[in-house]
Structure 1
Amino acid sequence: MHLTTVIQFVLLPAVALAIAALARARGWPAPLLLVVAGLAIGLVSARMPGMPSYELDPELVLLVFLPPLLYSAALDSSYLRLREVRRPVGLMSVGLVLFSTAVVGLLVHAMVPDLPLAAAFALGAIVAPPDAVAAVAVARRLGLPRRVITILVGESLFNDATALTAYRVAVAAMVGEGVSLLGAAGQFAYAAGAGLAIGLALAYACGWLLDRLTDVLVGSAISLLIPFVSYLAAEAVHASGVLSVVVVGVFLGHRMNRTGYGMRVVSHSVWKVVDFCLEIVVFGLIGLQLPLILRGLSGQDPWRVAGYAVAVLVAVVVARAVWLVPGAYLPRLLSRRIREREPRPPAAHVAVLGWAGMRGVVSLAAAFGLPDDFPARDLLLFLTFVVVIGTLLVQGLSFPMLIRRLRVSGDQEVYGDNLAEAAAQQAAATAALARLDELTGDGVIETHAEVVDRLRDNAERRAMGAWERLGGGVGPQGEETPSALYRRLRREMLAAEREVLVRMRDERRIDDEVLRRVTRELDFEEATLARD
């Protein structure tokens, strides 16, 4: 086997896995450590003759990495919470992306007058969408308020669709396809509308199929194909594949409780592993691009290029802050309905959102996807790389400190979740006991009283355990064997518990995270009842 193949497919993933394991053990943000390690490895390998280069393949990122990462994030998101923050998410995933595109495009065109405006706008679209993987990882570890995390997740789910569409419009205008402002707006509307329609159609079809599958392995394998099918189906008709994938993921995640317990348990584990593997490879690849990008700048004035890079990096960061402050407060001044429906965002929350603008591999992939004869392609690649590395390291490394300094915390929500979980467990146990009384009302209890007693004790113990975690300290006959009867009745009780929990989620009495946590406990218990 060729040495290059071994390095690319064995050694690099193994090194990335070791670095990620170290970061997890020490509580460090793994994406940032992987970027730094990639930079170091790239610089060392550039000085070693015979070492292969690691040029990022845009098709690999957009077709292999992006769909499953988006789908997994959407699957684990909350449709109800996303619906509550749809206005700020829309302002950031659409308005902020277009604003950043315009700011960066105009700035670069002013600094480099020979660069066509369309090419400058292409760069703006490339660096406009943040990648919230690193920010969300830090936010969850430090316990940020749920609304802030939901806005970050929602922005990262939808902003790629806006940015990639703007990127295609700008590239098309640059290569002479004659795109007008009205035509660009039409492309946006078509890409979004068709992507949404395809996503909804596939979501219903996939939901129908997964509901009827009893083979867990087959269902899990199909779930791995869903993001790729969704993306390619939309891209085949020049619609937004990103939006299609996100719609399918959010839809299926919201109705995941309709599938069997085995599908939920296996699917959760599978996507955790897929996420982990893809993320460590993606962030490791970012740093490895440095030697290749630097080689493309040979012959240019390094100080001038460095000045361009710093100016673009600052513009990206400042544009986000400039947009977020009025975007957070101006609509409240103009609309009474918004004031009544949404809480006033604290200034600390706005500051955290403003600093959570780390860019990622999608920006690099889009830059590498520029045609070889694109004006100033090497310069645009370098500027993109500096923005990605600069935001990841400067904002990413200082993000935890900012959160602590501003004392932004979601501790009250954690207590509220625990209280809501205890109440949900109590309501679910009550429903389970009521279902048990229905099932045993025909005399079964007289024959197998010990079975019913065990079931009743189990339900009561589950409800009492939830309250104790809060610190309160309170709390067919015939040939069917007692063990078979116990399993059958307990499954019926678990179904009754799930029904109550889903209804409480839909009524917004508990959050999706609470639902998933409690449902996972029920799934594990049902798994112990299963027999081959």
Structure 2
Amino acid sequence: MLALTVIVVIGACVLVSGIVGNRFGIAPPVLMLAAGVLVGFVPRLRTVNLPPDTVLLVFLPALLYWESLNASLRAIWRSLRGVVLMSTLLVLFSAGMVAVVAHAFGVPWGPAWILGGALAPTDATAVAALGRVLPRRVMNLLAAESLINDGTALVVYGVAVSVTTGSEHFSTVHVTWLVARSYLGGAAAGIAVAFVGGKLRARLQDPLLENVAILLIPFSAFLLAEAIQASGVLAVVACGLIMGQLGPKVGTPAVRLLSQGFWTIGTYVLNGSLFVLIGLQSQSAVRNLTSFDLARALSAVAAVCGVLIAARFAFQFTVILGIRAVDRRPSQRARRVTHGFRVITGLAGFRGAVSLAAALAVPNTLDNGLPLPDRDVIVFVTAGVIAALMLQAFALPPVVRWADLPEDTVIESERRMANRTAAEEAMEALPDIAATLGTAPEIADMARREYEKRLRLNRAGDPDDDGDDLDDDAAERLREFDEQYRELRLALLGAKRATLLRLRDERRIDDAVLRQIQAKLDIEEVRLSRTQLVD
């Protein structure tokens, strides 16, 4: 009964937090975290603990895969140097600074570096959930950073745990090997699973079975990477980025619509549950704290939060600006951002699931059987820092207004261009398509006129232009030619989809633009083809 009670309570917390957050404009994850803390006061629920394997093996693969699928590969490529630097140098710098602060509070160097490794990476799911008010370009950068930096941080964490417990020795060669195995092995595992997953999806015809295959992909990537002692997190990210490019090509409209609905609600529930469990774990961390008194532990939380924020700001305004001073190429000048942009990214360094899972996974004992020093402090400080940094979500809206970044119209302009280009190319192909299908001239002529009408609306800046081809009146007039009309319409939708994929592959439109327009085309194609989403 306890397990069922926990499920119902967590679900209720997610639901109520979402309702209250939407009603009062508060980030729901902050409310979910607070709800978890409050639930921890219920005596029956005080014994509930969050196993680290649950986060690593259940939550993370699904959440990271969904974020990777929806990432913009073009945006990652454009900001690749900054993303790489933030995912390596910033992670190492943050881990080192946290270790110094923890040691200053009396934590031995080994556990201090474990804490630094656990808290160094930002969290993709936390950024996505808490940063919805951020401009698109900021979100793209933060999402790319948080997807990649886990690999570096977990290597630091793993080395620190191994050296502290006495199971490994520290040397430059050994650490270099661990980093190479983590990154290269994880990427290779992700690529291999994506290759097999793409082949499998291309062969499956049943939307339900194909979505079962999609569900297995991230967990398979994580499992394969862990089996070769590489980074499961990087494997899932690499696999998700590749499948994000392959998905629109190998999937069918019915599969995409079913998958979108399932993953949207599934990841929302998983993400919300994770925030509630983090709050609940904070209660447990307080009760299990014995090495420090509460005041000293809270001071350590505040100091670590301060050094993480300071390290992030220092990196933003020194390393990146140093690169700007050295690299004077026109392409580099085009990528420059304002100080306001850097302040926003500095504040949005949220921590989350990876940090908590790492802290909970710290061994209780050393290899010689003695207790690992200050393990309770590591768990308490990690949970406290995750909770405290979430409060920055309240500061983001006024900071975004203060930064006064230029209005981002890229997605809208690219969407209009993509709709126009797809319609133009479909209209050009219409005579050949009609001839191949044997379509009656009246139907082909009416389709051509409707395309011309849509193109006029697009060029006039009609905000309601969604790429839909034929209006209801035209459909009514063509009812007597229903089968020919349906076949022509499906063929034209296929031509438009091919144009959109080409524009995406040429990097003329963002992945987000492709997904927006393709979703409308998918709905129309499912309706016309009379496909059932689930038999």
TM-score between both structures, scaled by the size of structure 2: 0.90
The aligned counterpart of 1:478 is: none
Matched, 1:167 2:176: no
Residue identity opposite 1:231 in structure 2: F
Can you list the C-alpha shifts for 1:13-42, whole angstroms capped at 9, x where unaligned?
Answer: 223223223323444311111111212222
How many Å apart are 1:208 and its aligned residue?
Answer: 1.9
Please, which moves more after superposition, 191-200 or 432-441?
432-441
1:32–1:134 contact (8 Å) kept in structure 2 = no
Residue identity opposite 2:156 in structure 1: A
Instruction: Give 1:363's match in structure 2, choosing from 331, 355, 359.
Output: 355
Can you list the C-alpha shifts for 1:145-173, whole angstroms capped at 9, x where unaligned?
Answer: x3221110001111112211211111000
Matched, 1:408 2:413: no
The aligned counterpart of 1:385 is: 383
Quick one: distance in 1 between partners of 2:10 and 2:4?
A: 9
Instruction: Give 1:107's match in structure 2, choosing from 98, 101, 106.
Output: 101
Can you list the C-alpha shifts for 1:98-136, whole angstroms capped at 9, x where unaligned?
Answer: 111111112222331xx4322211100011112243444
Residue identity opposite 1:356 in structure 2: A
Distance of aligned partners of 1:105 and 1:143 in 2 relative to their CA distance in 1, 3 Å threshold: closer
The aligned counterpart of 2:89 is: 95
Give the share of equivalent positions with the same residue, in percent: 35
The aligned counterpart of 1:529 is: 528
The aligned counterpart of 1:64 is: 58
Quick one: distance in 2 between partners of 1:443 and 1:363?
A: 58
Can you list the C-alpha shifts for 1:473-529, whole angstroms capped at 9, x where unaligned?
Answer: 9x9xxxxx9322222222221111112122222223222222211111111111111
Look up the SS of the partner of 2:61 in the other structure: helix
Work out the number of aligned pairs and report it: 510
1:79–1:251 contact (8 Å) kept in structure 2 = no
Quick one: distance in 1 between partners of 2:405 and 2:165?
A: 47
Superposition CA RMSD, Å = 2.3
Quick one: distance in 2 between partners of 1:249 and 1:427?
A: 28
Residue identity opposite 2:215 in structure 1: L
Residue identity opposite 1:408 in structure 2: L
How many Å apart are 1:458 and its aligned residue?
Answer: 4.1
**Correspondence list, 1:117-516, <5 A:** 117-140=109-132, 142=133, 144=135, 146-176=136-166, 177-258=168-249, 259-298=251-290, 300-337=292-329, 340=332, 342-373=334-365, 374-393=372-391, 395-408=392-405, 411=407, 413-414=408-409, 416-441=410-435, 444=438, 448-467=440-459, 469-470=461-462, 482-516=481-515
How many Å apart are 1:234 and its aligned residue?
Answer: 0.2
Quick one: distance in 1 between partners of 2:248 and 2:450?
A: 22
Quick one: distance in 1 between partners of 2:134 and 2:335?
A: 19
**5+ long unaligned stretches in structure 1:** 476-480
2:211–2:255 contact (8 Å) kept in structure 1 = yes
Please, which moves more after superposition, 74-83 or 508-517?
508-517
The aligned counterpart of 2:30 is: 32
1:332–1:338 contact (8 Å) kept in structure 2 = no
Can you list the C-alpha shifts for 1:361-419, whole angstroms capped at 9, x where unaligned?
Answer: 221121111111221111111111221111112x122122211222235x3x33x4333
How many Å apart are 1:86 and its aligned residue?
Answer: 1.0
Look up the SS of the partner of 2:26 in the other structure: coil
Distance of aligned partners of 1:324 and 1:458 in 2 relative to their CA distance in 1, 3 Å threshold: same
How many Å apart are 1:62 and its aligned residue?
Answer: 0.3
Quick one: distance in 2 between partners of 1:173 and 1:505?
A: 46
**5+ long unaligned stretches in structure 2:** 366-371, 468-479
Distance of aligned partners of 1:386 and 1:461 in 2 relative to their CA distance in 1, 3 Å threshold: same
Residue identity opposite 1:91 in structure 2: L
Distance of aligned partners of 1:338 and 1:310 in 2 relative to their CA distance in 1, 3 Å threshold: farther
2:63–2:125 contact (8 Å) kept in structure 1 = no
The aligned counterpart of 2:369 is: none
Quick one: distance in 2 between partners of 1:528 and 1:64?
A: 35
1:328–1:345 contact (8 Å) kept in structure 2 = no
1:358–1:392 contact (8 Å) kept in structure 2 = yes
Look up the SS of the partner of 2:318 in the other structure: helix
2:102–2:304 contact (8 Å) kept in structure 1 = yes
How many Å apart are 1:250 and its aligned residue?
Answer: 0.5
Distance of aligned partners of 1:443 and 1:197 in 2 relative to their CA distance in 1, 3 Å threshold: closer
2:98–2:113 contact (8 Å) kept in structure 1 = yes
How many Å apart are 1:334 and its aligned residue?
Answer: 1.8
Look up the SS of the partner of 1:18 in the other structure: helix
TM-score between both structures, scaled by the size of structure 1: 0.90
1:126–1:164 contact (8 Å) kept in structure 2 = yes
2:222–2:232 contact (8 Å) kept in structure 1 = yes
Quick one: distance in 1 between partners of 2:521 and 2:290?
A: 61
Quick one: distance in 1 between partners of 2:222 and 2:483?
A: 45
Residue identity opposite 1:127 in structure 2: L
Distance of aligned partners of 1:507 and 1:341 in 2 relative to their CA distance in 1, 3 Å threshold: farther
